[in-house]
Amino acid sequence: MISQQFANFLDLDRQILSAIMEAMASFTSLSTQTFKSAHIRSELKNILPTPAELYERVRERTKKGVTTVAHR
């Protein structure tokens, strides 16, 4: 029983490492594509808020008494 639990733990560890490596590969691929593509960078700029929009968001949050930044 204990040896089976230990084997399951090792398998979980391998699965976690595998997931991390896959995420790193995806991130690297996405970063490389973005670096090489002016179109992707342009689209990224289109979806990001402008400095003025950021200022307005912070100003509104301050009015509401919100002092922490929420992550999406």
**What contacts 57, CB < 8 A, 6 or more positions away?**
49
pLDDT at 13: 86
- Asked whether the whole model's pTM tops 0.85, one would answer no
Three-state secondary structure of 14-62: HHHHHHHHHHHHHHHHHHHHHHHCHHHHHHHHHHCCCHHHHHHHHHHHH
**Mean per-residue pLDDT, 9-29:** 90
Q: What is the largest CA-CA distance in the chain?
A: 61
Mean pLDDT of 28-36: 94
List the chain domain ranges.
2-63
Pick from 36, 34, 59: nearest CA to 47: 34
Instruction: Identify the residue with better confidence: 20 or 8.
Output: 20
